[in-house]
Structure 1
Amino acid sequence: MNVQAFLIMFREAFEAILIVGIIITYLNRIGQSKWNKYVWVGVSLAIAASLGVAMLFQNVLDGYATMGSKDYLRIGILIVSAGLLTHMIMFMSKQNREMRSKLQTKVALILTAGGAINMIVHSFLVTLREGVETVFFFAAISSGDISKSLQSWGALAGLAAAGVLGLLVFKGSKRIALGTFFKVTSVFLIMIAAGLLVQAVGVMQDLNVIGSAYKTPGGQIAAMYDLTWLLPEHPIDEANYIRDTGHHPVFHGQIGVFLKAFLGYSEDPSLEEFICYWLYYVFVFVLIARQKKVASLASAKAKDDDANATQDSVAEAVASDAMAQSQANGPESTTGKDTPTAI
């Protein structure tokens, strides 16, 4: 969980820092630093609101636990979190190049309209989004114990790392390749999302919400394969394997705990878990390929429009020169010449 908490907090906190940093930098550049305090007011309110959402959500989760329905709520959280992670990855990969210009345009409109409330609300909303997403993701990776995730070393380290990276971006002398940052972190977040989906399928099968197309002769859900000999999911599974076979697995169960939490690893997945895991990667690959194709077509269209505009400008210039030349070579003026005398 700590690794998941680190990656989620690192990514979400850095996105918030990046957005706020762009706004502050723009205000300073155009000589409107007097608005900075309103930006920070909005950010502070958003942080407080995010903590409030965390407390409220935790109470809801605890309420479902007392009713014996927490597992069903957990299924929903896992599925929705996987969807939100996927959306965030796709959205940021599409928007990160245009983020600065779009934010600056919005801020310019706010400055034109005037009003400190508008600036506070804008800063509040862009920060609150990241905070609420973090709360939701933490609920998913911790089986509903949000406070445990927030207090983990992973979350604290992720927040610190995001702060350091933010300083390097806005105060450092070297340029940070943000595109590379988002691509690398997106790969890990895709793995986390796939793991969340697999966990959701596993919980549903444990609760008999869904069955399986692949069963044992006794009617139980069968495993596609069993890798306990190679990498057990947990030290308990490792101990059971040693007890039953008298042999040690190749890798320690602690590694399995890490991979299960981080990637959704399963030593003996069901058919549905196996299909869901790899089908998700195919789905994301198709989305990314489609997004790149759309971006490529848009770029090609923009180049064609620029080329056409250039050709039109050249044609207009040529026509203008031709007209000027025609006027210069027109009928000669008779001024100052002798007029024939009539006989």
Structure 2
Amino acid sequence: MLAPLLIMLREGLEAALVVAIIATYLKRTGRGAWIKTIWVGVLFAVALSLFVGAGLQAMQAGFPQRAQEAFEAVVAFIAVGVLVWMVFWMRAAARSIRDTLESGVEAAFARSGPGQGTVWALIAMSFFAVAREGLESVFFLLAIFQQAPGPEAPLAALAGIVLSIALGWGIYAGGLRLNLRLFFRVSGLFILFVAAGLFSGGLRSLHEAGLWNLALTPAWDLSQVLPMSSVLGSILAALFGYHETPSLGEVLAWAVFLALTLPFFLRPAPVAQPQEA
């Protein structure tokens, strides 16, 4: 299951990068004793993400069938929004994230000195960084698990988290150098195709809930050529939301989504202009 592995690798690596940047800066500026403080924020963020995920799963289980389909559609659309925001936010923020975080650390010490206020400021920095990625992951994983039931998707997501932690530690320890720009570029492109599949799948859930009844003419029937029960079909379904008999509306939703997002993602990033002295 490449999709949950890659998404959780990317989400986890973003969170790990933030924590590693803060910890590295504290260590470099002679404040290494404060590093343990940021782990409190990380643990709080992980607990919050698990609580929200369990709550949403329990809430869904109590719904009747049609309401469950509507809930799945809502989760899919939220996951699409989260994935798109994540891709474009990292594309814009990657160039300045280190300076922003280091300035935040200095501001925390400047406001109150090395006291109780600094403790809470550092906890908040790590908490919000990890909680943002964790809550994003909750909606994405719920949407993926609904489309691909079974143990493979959760295990792949767990593998992605473990790998991101290992990479984050390697970056912090200084023994690992990654081309992060290339990684986020390639993974971002892949994620947009995953989001397109979730978007079209959300439309299918709306139809099954009785809330969408337009453009339901089958676009094609590949059940004899590439059934979803086949190995390749199940992989494509898990990765990109493939369906052997999609409706015309689902195909149009998939195509329009990519037509709107890919040009903005693939355009060259603006080059920072040098400031005049």
TM-score, normalised with respect to structure 2: 0.90
Partners of 1:150 and 1:34 lie apart in 2 by 40
In structure 2, what residue type is equivalent to 1:98?
Answer: S
Question: Aligned match of 2:201 in 194, 199, 202?
Answer: 199
2-structure distance, mates of 1:106, 1:44: 20
Q: How does 1:1-343 map to 2 (within 5 A)?
A: 2-63=1-62, 65-66=63-64, 68-114=66-112, 115=117, 116-143=119-146, 152-213=154-215, 221-234=216-229, 253-288=230-265, 292=268, 295-296=270-271, 299=272, 302-303=273-274, 305-306=275-276, 309=277
| Paired residues of 1:150 and 1:156 also in contact (CA < 8 A) | no
Q: What is the distance in 2 between the residues matched to 1:84 and 1:187? A: 15
Question: Is the 8 Å Cα contact of residues 74 and 140 (structure 1) preserved in structure 2?
Answer: yes
Q: What amino acid does structure 2 have at the position aligned with 1:134? A: S
Give, in whole Å, the separation in 1 of the partners of 2:125 and 2:159: 28
Give, in angstroms, the shift of residue 94 of structure 1. 0.9
Q: CA contact under 8 A between 2:66 and 2:208: conserved in structure 1?
A: no
Contact 1:58 1:145 in 2 (8 A): no
Q: By how many angstroms is 1:111 displaced?
A: 1.3
Which amino acid counterpart does residue 71 of structure 1 have in structure 2? E
Over 3 Å counting, the alpha-carbon distance change for 1:179 and 1:88 in structure 2 is same
Structure 2: how far apart are the matches of 1:105 and 1:145? 42
2: distance between equivalents of 1:151 and 1:189? 16
Matched AA of 2:248 = L
Partner of 2:47, secondary structure, is helix
Give the Cα separation in 1 of the matches to 2:247 and 2:260.
Answer: 20
Which deviates further from its counterpart, 42-51 or 79-88?
42-51
In the alignment, is the contact (CA less than 8 A) between 1:79 and 1:196 conserved in 2? Answer: yes
Distance, in Å, in 2 between the alignment partners of 1:145 and 1:286 is: 29
The CA deviation string for residues 9-63 of structure 1, in whole angstroms up to 9 with x for no partner, is: 1111111111000000000000011211211111112112221222222222223
State TM-score, norm by structure 1.
0.73
Q: What percent of counterpart residues are identical?
A: 31
3-state SS, counterpart of residue 218 of structure 2: coil
Q: Which runs of 5+ in 2 are unaligned?
A: none
Decide whether the 8 Å contact of 1:5 with 1:149 is kept in 2.
no
**Larger Rg belongs to:** 1
Structure 1 CA distance for aligned equivalents of residues 210 and 50 of structure 2 = 35
Higher relative contact order (CA 8 A, sep 6+): 2
Aligned AA (2:122): M
Q: 1:181–1:189: structure 2 CA closer, same or farther, 3 Å change rule? A: same
Aligned residues of 1:41 and 1:120 also touching (Cα < 8 A)? yes
- Coordinate RMSD, CA, aligned: 2.3
Deviations for 1:146-169, whole angstroms, at most 9, x for unmatched residues? Answer: 9x7798220221112112222332
Moved over 4 A (4+): 148-151
Deviation at 1:88, TM superposition (A): 0.4
SS of residue paired to 2:146: coil
Count of residues in Structure 1 that have an aligned counterpart in Structure 2: 272
**CA offset digits 1:96-148 (Å, max 9, x no partner):** 111111111111101111321221122111111111111111111112999x7
